[in-house]
């Protein structure tokens, strides 16, 4: 091969093999702010940008109408660890409508028994060395308990 002849190769694929599929990283508030600042720096007026949601690229678009605090740290319950975008405000529609909630004390008791089972599952996670999933499950349990207590005071 001559000095001036260039050897060509196929471009390297950026996709990873399916067998070693990584879980995508979660979007953080910081990454969202960076993205918004980037598009704003290119001349976009953020006051006119709406927020939409899709489960994937082929699903229908849902218009996000609300944002609220979601999970707090387990130790002090005072540091926000996540926020949630809502399509419907649960006070007006969607999850949390009166017909979606248990309406008798026996239904409420059943709901709390399911939470106890979930707590047992969290203990199993810990026994198997999976503290991360145990913590995630316990946060969900606390949120469901708080939701039930908040919305079931009339039962």
**pLDDT band, very low/low/confident/very high, at 112 (cuts 50, 70, 90):** confident
Would the pLDDT of 120 be above 70?
yes
C-alpha dist (Å) from residue 40 to 28, 32, 66, 106, 143: 18, 12, 21, 53, 35
Would the pLDDT of 24 be above 90?
no
- The Cβ of residue 74 has, within 10 Å, a number of other Cβ atoms equal to 12
- The Cβ of residue 134 has, within 10 Å, a number of other Cβ atoms equal to 19
Q: What is the pTM of this model?
A: 0.43
C-alpha dist (Å) from residue 32 to 43, 86, 87, 150: 17, 16, 18, 31
């Amino acid at each position: 091969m001559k000095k001036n002849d260039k050897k060509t190769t196929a471009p390297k694929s950026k996709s990873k093999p399916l067998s070693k599929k990584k879980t995508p990283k979660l979007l953080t508030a910081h990454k969202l702010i960076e993205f918004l600042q980037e598009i704003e720096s290119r001349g976009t007026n953020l006051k006119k940008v709406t927020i939409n949601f899709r489960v994937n690229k082929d699903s229908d678009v849902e218009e996000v109408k609300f944002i609220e605090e979601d999970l707090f740290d387990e130790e002090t319950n005072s540091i926000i660890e996540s926020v949630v975008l809502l399509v419907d405000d649960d006070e007006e529609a969607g999850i949390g409508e009166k017909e979606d909630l248990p309406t008798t004390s026996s239904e409420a008791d059943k709901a709390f028994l399911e939470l106890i089972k979930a707590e047992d599952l969290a203990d199993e996670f810990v026994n198997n060395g999976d503290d991360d999933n145990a913590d995630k499950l316990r946060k969900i349990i606390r949120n469901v308990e708080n939701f039930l207590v908040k919305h079931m005071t009339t039962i």
